[in-house]
Structure 1
Amino acid sequence: MTSAHTASAAVVPATIGADASAAHPDRSFPRLHPRPSRGWVNDPNGVAFADGRWHVFFQHNAESARHHRIHWGHVSSPDLVRWEEHPVALAPQQGGPDAYGCWTGVVTLDAGTPTAVYSGVADGSGRSQVVLARGTADLGEWVQDGVVAAGMPDDPRVVAVRDPFLFEFAGRRWAVQGAGLATGHAAVLLYGADDLSAWEYHGIWLTSEDPVASELPDANIWECPQLVRSGGSWVAVFSLWREEQLTGVGHLVGSLALDPVTALPVFTPLSSGITDVGGSFYAPQAVQAGERVLMWGWAKEVAASGLRGRTPEDCDAVGWSGLLTFPRELRVEGGAVRLQAAPELAALRAEPLEDTPGTHDGGPQLPLPDQADAVVAGEGTVRLRLGDATVWSGAVAEGEEVRVLVDASIVEVFTSAGAATTLRAYPSGAQSYRLEMGPGVRARAWRLAVPGA
């Protein structure tokens, strides 16, 4: 076994936190969402609560703003509000099963030892294997010794596999991976993982040909499969990959039971839905925390419709690309998935903001700083504008609320009915955000800041 690997010798960790964010030269750089000051960020990985802190890992390339030679970055927080960056956790190992990159996965306890379970890619083919790395109790150091728990299935129907996820059911540990089939359909594969180092392949578990699953947008691969429990329901979440396009995130609400003949779990979908209706949300990771389910997603550099976005060359110029969303709570009500911003985020609210009555079509207008939280209520229309462009628009019904969270270039909108929308917009020059509301609509709003910063 090799010595503990912290990756700090391979990549110099970027700074994070209020001081680093405040000093960042790019106005569109998020100040409240944790990410290194430079480099590429995509999928959240290995979300876990350990040693009294929430730990979130993420795919990361510190050397450029491009997706290449993916490592696992690492941040942690005691309260989901104040975040600290740690040295890179996992790095590609020369000659190892992850030589080309350490891609999406989870962190679990295996006989009391924190263990990262992830897609290791050995070469440019993109074919992945399930690789294990063992960590210390505080998740601060990791041993990468090339243990492969599962390879590509010996199944001619399966042409692509990635993104392991673990769940417990009926006293056993199970695993799923996202997959693509030779027929062009998307699928989830099922494994037994009681022995975490040697998985048992149980075949194709669910496909996009299922009558309920077929209601989701077409996909060739279901990436980043998740399976979590809320109340009496189970929720399967998939990222929809079609012909190399990341087309969104969908979910299925259903039931889980053991087959009386095979003793394998069977997921029966009952309803389907889109997990986030914005164009920037992808590859979320959900974590079961008792009865609570928390979820983070990757916010891609895809601007809201009608706004100028950022090209890869633009990202090269500013030195960064991608970030993780704020944490959100997922729950099932009435057979449907509801998402809300995690309640802990209220601690970011600093001084209140005041609207200006009668300045927009007879209704109030509320200027917003680059970091803001607004709760809109009443009855009528509301628009979030950046300069002359509309970032988001919608309607508020009597008795409902809409919450709008802004952090520089990321906007996250939540309705009281549970719909979530993630958008990107890039303020520059004299541009500023503002809410424009109909006469019957009002907003309570706050400037946001990290407590004590």
Structure 2
Amino acid sequence: MKKYLGILLILTIFNSCQTAAKKENNLQEKYRPSYHFSPKKGWMNDPNGMVYLDGTYHLFFQHNPDTTVWGPMHWGHATSTDLIHWEEHPIALFPDSLGTIFSGSAVIDKDNTAGFGKGALVAIFTHHNPKIEEAKTGLHQYQSIAYSLDKGKSWTKYVGNPVLPNPGIWDFRDPKVMWHAGSGQWVMTLATKQSITFYGSKNLKEWTRLSEFGNEVGAHGGVWECPDLLRFETPEGDKWVLLVSINPGGPNTGSATQYFVGDFDGTTFRSDQKDIRWMDYGPDNYAGVTFSNTENRQILMGWMSNWAYANTVPASSWRSGMTIPRTLSLQKVSERWLLVSTPITDELGAWDTQEKGGVQVKNGTDDWSKYIGEANGAFELSFALDKVATFDLVLSNGKGDELVLGFDEATNQFFVDRSKAGDANFSPTFIKRTVAPRILDAETLTYRLLVDRNSVEIFADGGLSNLSSLFFVEQPFDLLMFRSSTTVNVRDLRVKVIK
């Protein structure tokens, strides 16, 4: 009998420990996104080295595995076949005697130009030397390379690093490399203080300065970072887009990404653009770059946070996630070529799509909660209005949290108000209400939002006006109200729920 009671006591304690562990795990995971990538543990910021190889997308990322705040940078590594379901792998690149591993890119060296092997995967990254002596001289950042012969499973750093020494520039980082067929060379797009400098190389090891862009154009409220040079085919011929992240100085304060439309001849990027154009007006889409080796398709992912408060957002064992991958394209609006972003969810079989058709809302509120009740806070919703009108979408839950988003016709702005969406007081720099101008002058308005357990991404007017925002609720949103002070006709209402 005593033996039986002893076993029963042990089982009771074991079950109690399991329950406590499960509760603790749920507490730690309460802000974990459902379909956006986030690291298993530790800190994450910029996406790095993104490349498509043999049916697999490789995402490397700025990573501090030992704590949930920014620190000694490594390259974390994850892969996916559909850009939604990710498998995290062991760390790819560790700090060494040359410094920590800052942002960069990866290419497939199909013709063995570097001599590491035909089809080698080559990473080009910034070494950041934290030693005080180097920092005082401004020579603490320089570019290095590493290569993989087993599709990214293991990496060897080049013995001749750094391949591009610092010429005396304090901010000298974030190389994005591409092959430019017209000039028969690798082209590196590099952030250099508040400009972008282009370098060329035949072998990824020896680099020559080509040109510089940006000193007198664009936004200059902060340092320029994480550039990317993209080619688009248009009816008017090839157009080139230069992405430049800036911190601070964004349209809603803090971090953001601007872009320039122009031409590139293999040596010089030129643009006649006089206005400042933002890829995403939301506060939580930064350092976004595209995957290489995707032929003519440009697929971008960004870091879903903002340097104004990134180190202080609620977290437990991990901190930060990525945006939904987006396909980029160009659209001509009023004689301006503008960048368009659309989420890749259209092509994924992981979504259960429900067609809801049309709804007429007469001077009041329509309850759409039934459409998202089973989504557990992770869904996509889209619709169109036959006529532009002010409207609110109010997401809420049983705890009284509210996220309000919509369009204000008086100011011609889309907006997100997260002031009551859970914890919004962890930092005085956390931006409570953000806005984006309506760029398209059309009578019909289209609206698309992706909601995850801690974020919303809005793609309005087909992806011309975008807003990406974090929020921190402990209980998923399961209530949704559509409000308008006028009668509006809602058509093409669709809901997609992640399976």
Shorter-normalised TM range: 0.7 to 0.9
The yes-or-no answer on 1:165 pairing with 2:157 is no
The counterpart of 1:371, out of the listed 378, 388, 396, is 378
Task: Give the alignment of 1:353-432 within 5 angstroms.
Answer: 362-367=364-369, 368=372, 369-378=376-385, 379=387, 380=389, 381-386=391-396, 387=400, 389-394=402-407, 398-418=443-463, 419-429=465-475, 432=478
User: Given the superposition, is the C-alpha separation of residues 149 and 246 from structure 1 closer, same or farther in structure 2, using an over 3 Å criterion?
Assistant: farther
User: Given the superposition, is the C-alpha separation of residues 133 and 336 from structure 1 closer, same or farther in structure 2, using an over 3 Å criterion?
Assistant: same
CA distance in 2, matches of 1:311, 1:240: 18
Q: Is the 8 Å Cα contact of residues 189 and 198 (structure 2) preserved in structure 1?
A: yes
Question: SS where residue 65 of structure 1 aligns?
Answer: coil
| 1:79 aligned residue | 82
Shift in Å at residue 131 of structure 1?
1.1
| 2:103 aligned residue | 104
The yes-or-no answer on 1:278 pairing with 2:282 is yes
User: Given the superposition, is the C-alpha separation of residues 384 and 145 from structure 1 closer, same or farther in structure 2, using an over 3 Å criterion?
Assistant: farther
Deviates more, 1:171-180 or 1:242-251: 242-251
The amino acid that maps onto 2:322 is: L
The C-alpha deviation readout for 1:6-38, integer Å capped at 9, x for no partner, is xxxxxxxxxxxxxxxx96743221011122232
The amino acid that maps onto 2:259 is: H
The C-alpha deviation readout for 1:180-227, integer Å capped at 9, x for no partner, is 1xxxxx11112112121121123x511231xxx2xx332342101110
User: Given the superposition, is the C-alpha separation of residues 79 and 255 from structure 1 closer, same or farther in structure 2, using an over 3 Å criterion?
Assistant: same
Q: Is the 8 Å Cα contact of residues 248 and 256 (structure 2) preserved in structure 1?
A: no
The C-alpha deviation readout for 1:384-432, integer Å capped at 9, x for no partner, is 4344544422269753321100111111111234222110111124864
| 2:144 aligned residue | 131
Shift in Å at residue 76 of structure 1?
1.1
Task: Give the alignment of 1:3-152 within 5 angstroms.
Answer: 25-93=28-96, 95=97, 97-98=98-99, 101-110=100-109, 111=112, 112-124=119-131, 125=135, 127-146=140-159, 147-152=161-166
The C-alpha deviation readout for 1:91-126, integer Å capped at 9, x for no partner, is 112x2x23xx21110001231211110011122538
The amino acid that maps onto 1:277 is: Y
The yes-or-no answer on 1:234 pairing with 2:280 is no
Shift in Å at residue 282 of structure 1?
0.8
Question: SS where residue 63 of structure 1 aligns?
Answer: coil
| 2:488 aligned residue | 440
| 1:287 aligned residue | 291
Deviates more, 1:126-135 or 1:38-47: 126-135
Q: Which runs of 5+ in 2 are unaligned?
A: 1-24, 113-118, 409-413, 415-441
| 2:208 aligned residue | 200
Shift in Å at residue 360 of structure 1?
9.3
Shift in Å at residue 370 of structure 1?
0.9
Deviates more, 1:45-54 or 1:361-370: 361-370
- Highest CA radius of gyration, 1 or 2? 2
The amino acid that maps onto 1:160 is: D
CA distance in 2, matches of 1:59, 1:77: 18
CA distance in 2, matches of 1:224, 1:31: 27
CA distance in 1, matches of 2:176, 2:476: 45
Q: TM-score, normalised by structure 2?
A: 0.72
Q: Is the 8 Å Cα contact of residues 81 and 347 (structure 1) preserved in structure 2?
A: no
Shift in Å at residue 449 of structure 1?
2.4
Q: Is the 8 Å Cα contact of residues 141 and 170 (structure 2) preserved in structure 1?
A: no
| 1:330 aligned residue | 328
The amino acid that maps onto 1:40 is: W
User: Given the superposition, is the C-alpha separation of residues 254 and 46 from structure 1 closer, same or farther in structure 2, using an over 3 Å criterion?
Assistant: same
CA distance in 2, matches of 1:360, 1:370: 27
CA distance in 2, matches of 1:228, 1:310: 28
CA distance in 1, matches of 2:320, 2:462: 28
| 1:312 aligned residue | 312
CA distance in 1, matches of 2:67, 2:347: 30
The amino acid that maps onto 1:208 is: N
User: Given the superposition, is the C-alpha separation of residues 266 and 32 from structure 1 closer, same or farther in structure 2, using an over 3 Å criterion?
Assistant: closer
Q: Is the 8 Å Cα contact of residues 355 and 366 (structure 1) preserved in structure 2?
A: no
Shift in Å at residue 291 of structure 1?
1.8
Q: How many residues in Structure 1 have an aligned counterpart in Structure 2? A: 400
Percent identity of equivalent pairs: 22
Question: SS where residue 61 of structure 2 aligns?
Answer: strand
Shift in Å at residue 296 of structure 1?
0.5
CA distance in 1, matches of 2:77, 2:46: 12
Question: SS where residue 349 of structure 2 aligns?
Answer: helix
Q: Is the 8 Å Cα contact of residues 391 and 425 (structure 1) preserved in structure 2?
A: no
CA distance in 2, matches of 1:301, 1:52: 32
Greater fraction strand: 1
Q: Is the 8 Å Cα contact of residues 134 and 142 (structure 1) preserved in structure 2?
A: yes
Q: Is the 8 Å Cα contact of residues 376 and 441 (structure 1) preserved in structure 2?
A: no
CA distance in 2, matches of 1:356, 1:254: 41
Q: CA RMSD in A?
A: 3.1
Q: TM-score, normalised by structure 1?
A: 0.79
Deviates more, 1:120-129 or 1:352-361: 352-361
The amino acid that maps onto 2:121 is: P
User: Given the superposition, is the C-alpha separation of residues 430 and 331 from structure 1 closer, same or farther in structure 2, using an over 3 Å criterion?
Assistant: closer
Question: SS where residue 383 of structure 1 aligns?
Answer: strand
CA distance in 2, matches of 1:66, 1:278: 22
